Amino acid sequence: MFSQTVEYALRAIVYLAGDPDAARTSGQISEITKVPQAYLSKVLKGLSESGLLSSQRGVGGGFILARKPTELTILEVVNAVDPIRRIRTCPLGISTHGSRLCPLHRRLDDALKSVEEAFGKTTLAEVLADPNPSVPLCEFPPAAHPAAIDAS
């Protein structure tokens, strides 16, 4: 349902949220998240252009979240790189349908709306604080475990 770009963006953002005060290079992010560095560079550029990440060149530079993990939702990340496309008019171009969707496309759009609502209510901090024993998406440095998120 979601593109590879969305998956990669979420991996990178969740990794950065794990230690929100530390700048990470694209190489470091690539290594931990298992995202090819060339592709990741494009994803990080898009996230920076959308205002979700800040970047700094030079020694000690890298990428860092532009906002706290408690203030950044999964929906914002998704929409920054590959927005959810709701169904507003008949995808088949049937003129008699116009903006009144048929039962099939209405249900599909309802599902997209549900995803949008769920992602819009879910912050990065909530993802990281989930009690599931599996750490989200990738291995984190010890300081980046959920307890560190609560202090942010």
Q: Convert the pLDDT of each residue in 19-53 to its tens digit.
A: 888 899 999 999 999 999 999 999 999 999 999 99
Q: What is the pLDDT of residue 152?
A: 43
Tally of domains in the chain: 1
The span from the CA of 104 to the CA of 120, in Å, is 24
Residue 104 lies in a domain: no
Residue 151 lies in a domain: no
The span from the CA of 19 to the CA of 51, in Å, is 18
Residue 101 lies in a domain: no
Q: What is the pLDDT of residue 103?
A: 86
Residue 50 lies in a domain: yes
Residue 102 lies in a domain: no
Burial class (CB in 10 A: 0-12, 13-18, 19+), 132: exposed
Secondary structure class of 102 (helix, strand, coil): coil
Residue 97 lies in a domain: no
pTM of the model: 0.80
| Sequence-ordered list of residues with C-beta below 8 angstroms from that of 121, at least 6 positions apart, any chain | 73
Would the pLDDT of 98 be above 90?
no
Would the pLDDT of 96 be above 90?
no
Q: What is the pLDDT of residue 56?
A: 84
Q: How confident is the model at residue 138 (pLDDT cuts 50, 70, 90)?
A: low
- How many other C-beta atoms lie within 10 A of the C-beta of residue 76? 19
Q: Angle at the Cα of 140 (from 139 to 141), degrees rounded to 5?
A: 130
What tokens does 13 get? 């953002």
CATH of the domain at 131: 1.10.10.10
Q: By residue range, what is the domain housing residue 34? A: 4-84+123-145
The span from the CA of 7 to the CA of 35, in Å, is 9
